[in-house]
Amino acid sequence: MTKAEIVTEIANKTGIEKVAVQAVVESFMETVKDTMVNGENVYLRGFGSFIIKERAEKTGRNISKNTTIIIPAHKIPAFKPAKTFVNEVKGNL
């Protein structure tokens, strides 16, 4: 499902104009992104958490040049679904 499809689905369910729904969806995504850039996690009860994971420094290999490189420690964004969300998805298999 794309962002446009999400906007259409929400507009159909709520009766709110697509333009307003699109603005809310864009604002939500921007808020989540800005919060995570500032080093904070976002918790949505019953849905999941947008968290920042820390990756340790490690050694990698460039197989085309047959060399080793050091990959520095870094942070990455991740999503951890809530247990209720996971259970609903598992029930639909």
Provide the pLDDT for residue 62: 87
Please say if the pLDDT value at position 27 is more than 70. Answer: yes
Please say if the pLDDT value at position 93 is more than 90. Answer: no
Please say if the pLDDT value at position 52 is more than 70. Answer: yes
Of all residues in the chain, the percent with pLDDT exceeding 90 is 91
DSSP string, 3-26: HHHHHHHHHHHH---HHHHHHHHH
User: Is residue 63 very low, low, confident or very high in pLDDT (cuts 50, 70, 90)?
Assistant: confident
Domain 3-91 matching CATH 3.90.930.60: the answer reads no
CA trace torsion 55, 61, 64, 66 (10° rounding): 160
* Residue 85 tokens, joined: 């969300």
pTM of the model: 0.79
Q: Where are the domains of the chain?
A: 3-91
